[in-house]
Amino acid sequence: MAEYDAVIVGSGVNSLACGALLAREGWRVCVLERNDWLGGAIQTAELTEPGYLHDVFSAWHPLWVGGAAHALLGDDLAARGLEYLNTDLPTGTLYPDGEAAFLLRDAEGNAGEIGPEWPEVLERFFPNADLAFGVLGTELWSGAGLALGSKAFRRLGRAGLAAFTGELLQTSRDWLESTFASERAHGLLAPWVLHTGLGPDAATSGFMTQVIAVAVQEGGMPIPRGGGAKLADALVQLIRDRGGVCETGRDVERVLVRQGRAVGVQLAGGETVTAERAVIANVTPTQLYGRLLDESEVPARVTEGARRFRYGRAEMQIHFALSEPARWEGDERLGRTAIVHVTPGLDGVSRAVNEAERGLLPAEATIVAGQPMTMDPSRAPDGKGILWIQLQELPRVLKGDAAGEIDVGDGRWNDDIRERYADRIQARLARHIPNLEASIVRRVVLGPHDLERMNVNLHQGDPYGGALSLDQNFLWRPFPQAPGHATAVERLFHIGASTWPGPGLGAGSGTLVAQELLKPPLSRRALAKARSLAGR
């Protein structure tokens, strides 16, 4: 008998959620992680100075708290010490003139902030919210996906379904400009498409803008008390409590395939770990088809599709340890808001995305300023402060600087370019936070090259597992030759940000695969259905 029922490669949130769901049902689970921490892009560390707890990569958990995995595992995780904190001020945008707009937790307040059009947006969205969120929580290449489409057709009719699909494909710019008169409203909502790996002029970004805006209003911006790693810790403990194994420093170099079926993995150094029911790989297509599998084990069209898989924009993280909390000029709510976007607005976001996609360092990037201490004072010593900065509009390969200030040399990221660009961002923030530069205890910057070194799945600093252009999204993610989570190798499954429903901490792909693996065999399902019909 194999050592485990399921071997999971990588320990990101999709891996841990999948492993926890399987272990809870009695599966023998083994999670293997090449790094020295469990959690993938979830890591909390004293990155700057002792006592300052920084979420090194991801930090905000609305997708997890609102997702299916949390609904299934929340009580088990709470029993293992996971506690979520939330706020009535989840996000806002600060404009260059010092004015600000906020997305709040109540519809009436948002009508005042966003505009009188907001109630109508909600009236249109909520009747079909189950369809919208269903798209994001369904294995689209499956009977469940077909059932969701049939449900939409029965409810909306042919014309209504065509309209719904058209709205799904709309860009954020088109939706915002046709819905809201206020440019402040555009600038409040447009930056959120960056968190989905898109830009405001990309197909489907309008749909994602609506979904995120409603989700933030309804769910806020929750974070775990003590740092994001508390989620990973609780999932790991649940797996171990159910007899599973989670190990660090275990670099998987091959998936073992026998007669077209995945039977385990081989580690660097030659050790093998066998799996009776499934091997689940939380990796990019580059890793799966270029490293873990031999070309002879998959169809040539799949190998070619993986070779042509495209990655998206890169990102940068800036972590500030401060001797006192940041004091924002202007609206006093800025200092109490979880995430503040600093941007000129919709056109500013669009321009920065365009510059990055042309290989240029943006002259005026969208600054994502995270303030976890608005909810969790335990993140820093008494009276101190931290800022979590994310920049999502950076080129993976440098061709120049849109501002004409930084020499990009041979086009590869290095420490000097990283620090000079961080200086630009810091100077912009200092115009709005007068005490920023005087209060910096230490600044740590992670450029795209650092991110890839720290996590192999962050290819060239892309945090979202590959470009989310329409041909690599929805039905076609990760790529058209290998859509969905099942692979051409029997019992080998692909999960993670590169797969549907894409990036984020919702653990959608891990949950979908776990649910598929936990279905009873077809014969048992047919028998149960027959018994049900006989009992009517």
Give the DSSP letter string of 251-291.
-EEEEEEETTEEEEEEETTS-EEEEEEEEEEES-HHHIIII
**109-135, pLDDT tens digit by residue?**
999 999 999 999 999 999 999 999 999
Task: For residue 435, give the 3-state DSSP assignment.
Answer: coil
Q: Report residue 1's pLDDT band, with 50, 70 and 90 as the boundaries.
A: low
CA distance linking residue 209 with residue 405, whole number of Å: 33
Cβ-based burial of 534 (10 A; exposed 0-12, middle 13-18, buried ≥19)? exposed
Q: Within a 10 A sphere around the Cβ of 319, how many other Cβ atoms?
A: 21
Give the residue from 395, 419, 454 where a domain finishes.
454
**DSSP structural state of residue 381:** S
Tell me, yes or no, whether 95 lies in a domain. no
* Span of 32-46, 133-147, 520-534 with lowest mean pLDDT: 520-534
pLDDT the model gives residue 425:
98
Q: Is residue 392 part of a domain?
A: yes
Residues 442 and 487 in one domain: no
439 in the same domain as 324: yes
Relative to beta strand 440-446, strand 400-401 is unpaired
Q: What is the pLDDT of residues 166-217, one digit of tens each?
A: 999 999 999 999 999 999 999 999 999 999 999 999 999 999 999 999 999 9
- Whether 267 contacts 100, CB under 8 Å: no
Q: Are residues 362 and 396 in the same domain?
A: yes
The answer to whether residue 487 is domain-embedded is yes
Q: Are residues 208 and 336 in the same domain?
A: no
Would you say residue 531 has pLDDT above 50?
A: no
In-domain check, residue 402: yes
161 and 294 in a single domain? The answer is no
On average, the pLDDT of the chain sits at 96
432 near 330, Cβ under 8 Å?
Answer: yes
3-state helix, strand, coil in the chain (%, to 5): 45, 20, 40
The pLDDT of residue 521 is 77
Overall domain count for the chain: 3
Could you tell me the end-to-end alpha-carbon distance of the chain, in angstroms, rounded to an integer? Answer: 42
pLDDT in tens, 49-97: 999 999 999 999 999 999 999 999 999 999 999 999 999 999 999 999 9
Torsional class of 179: left (φ above 0), alpha (ψ -120 to 50), beta (otherwise): alpha
235 and 158 in a single domain? The answer is no
Does residue 115 form part of some domain? yes
Q: Residue 2, SS3?
A: coil
Q: What is the pLDDT of residues 421-445, one digit of tens each?
A: 999 999 999 999 999 999 999 999 9
Model confidence at 535: pLDDT above 90: no
Answer yes or no: do 232 and 359 share one domain: no
Domain boundary among 402, 429, 454: 454
Residue among 288, 291, 228 nearest 465 (CA)? 288
pLDDT at 503: 96
CATH number of 28's domain: 3.50.50.60
Same domain, 34 and 151: no
Question: What percent of the chain shows pLDDT beyond 90?
Answer: 96
Statement to judge: residues 314 and 374 lie in one domain? yes
Residues 322 and 417 reside in one and the same domain: yes
Amino acid at 424: R
Q: Got the DSSP string for 4-41?
A: EEEEEES-SHHHHHHHHHHHHTT--EEEE-SSSSSSTT
Per-residue pLDDT, 522? 66
Domain boundary among 217, 239, 267: 217
Predicted pLDDT at 431: 98
Query: Are the C-beta atoms of residues 529 and 89 closer than 8 Å to each other?
Result: no
Contact criterion met (CB below 8 Å) for 60 and 221? yes
Same domain, 21 and 146: no
* pLDDT tens for each residue of 482-493: 999 999 999 999
Task: Provide the pLDDT for residue 527.
Answer: 44
In one-letter notation, the amino acid at residue 453 is R
CB 280 within 8 A of CB 495: yes
Report pTM: 0.95
- Domain range spanning residue 146? 105-217
Q: How confident is the model at residue 533 (pLDDT cuts 50, 70, 90)?
A: low
207 and 233 together in one domain: no
Maximum pairwise Cα distance, the chain: 76
The secondary element (H helix, E strand) that includes residue 511 is helix 508-517
pLDDT at 393: 98
Token pair 């999960």 is found at 495
Does residue 28 form part of some domain? Answer: yes
Collapsing DSSP states into helix, strand and coil, what is residue 474?
helix
Q: What is the mean pLDDT of residues 371-398?
A: 98
Residue 52 lies in a domain: no
What is the spatial distance between Cα 324 and Cα 343, in angstroms, rounded to a whole number?
24
Is residue 51, in this structure, part of any structural domain at all? no
Structure tokens at 327: 């004091």
Please state, in angstroms and rounded to a whole number, the distance separating the CA atoms of residues 119 and 123: 6
